[in-house]
């Protein structure tokens, strides 16, 4: 359930970003470092982005930074910590009706639940993410990725049920 990445393009983009320190550049670096497997650097950059968003960003930007940091926690194998952080982001974003943030938080938490083997929780989060993205008028590409996640989890659940029936 992890993203596929063109490593050479990601490394090239990291070089292009260089020493840029804007919040958007920091957040992009977090994602690229995580996807290229540079997890320790991603963690440091995620904490830097989080601090900067606390001082210069909106509450929504802070929530996005927290989600990205939780994604790094997932890649570090700290699944319980990632779920906890993402749950806070889901609750805050849904309370304030930040649809895009809530969808991103739900999808991210769904991936962690999937990795933990909690398929029912993963399905609930992915389904909620689809609904939130539809309500927000998301692009077809964003909707498709969320729908694929739902389909994958549903197939795993069906396979699990079939295995139980055969036993």
Residue ranges making up the domain that contains 40: 13-166
Element (H, E) at 86: helix 79-95
| Residue 153 domain flag | yes
| Residue 7 domain flag | no
Give the helix, strand, coil percentages of the chain, each rounded to 5: 85, 0, 15
Local confidence band at 3 (pLDDT 50, 70, 90 cut-offs) = confident
Number of domains forming the structure of the chain: 1
Using CA atoms, how far apart are residues 130 and 41, in angstroms rounded to an integer?
A: 31
What are the b/e assignments for 81-101, b being 16+ CB within 10 Å?
Answer: ebbebbeebbebbbeeebbbb
CB atoms within 10 A of CB 54: 13
By the 10 Å C-beta count (0-12 exposed, 13-18 middle, 19+ buried), 14 is classed as middle
Q: What is the CATH number of the domain that holds 50?
A: 1.25.40.10
38-96 pLDDT tens trace = 999 999 999 999 999 999 989 999 999 999 999 999 999 999 999 999 999 999 999 99
| Residue 1 domain flag | no
């Amino acid at each position: 359930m992890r993203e596929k990445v063109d490593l050479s393009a990601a490394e090239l983009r990291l070089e292009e970003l260089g020493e840029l320190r804007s919040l958007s550049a920091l957040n992009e670096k977090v994602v690229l470092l995580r996807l290229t497997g540079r997890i320790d650097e991603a963690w440091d950059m995620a904490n830097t982005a989080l601090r900067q968003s606390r001082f210069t960003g909106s509450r929504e930007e802070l929530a996005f930074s927290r989600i990205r940091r939780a994604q790094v926690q997932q890649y570090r194998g700290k699944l319980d910590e990632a779920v906890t952080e993402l749950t806070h982001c889901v609750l805050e974003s849904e309370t304030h009706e930040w649809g895009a943030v809530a969808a991103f938080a739900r999808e991210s938490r769904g991936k962690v639940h999937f990795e933990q083997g909690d398929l029912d929780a993963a399905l609930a989060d992915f389904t909620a993410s689809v609904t939130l993205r539809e309500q927000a008028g998301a692009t077809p590409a964003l909707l498709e990725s969320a729908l694929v996640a739902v389909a994958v989890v549903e197939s795993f659940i069906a396979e699990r049920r079939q295995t139980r029936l055969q036993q």
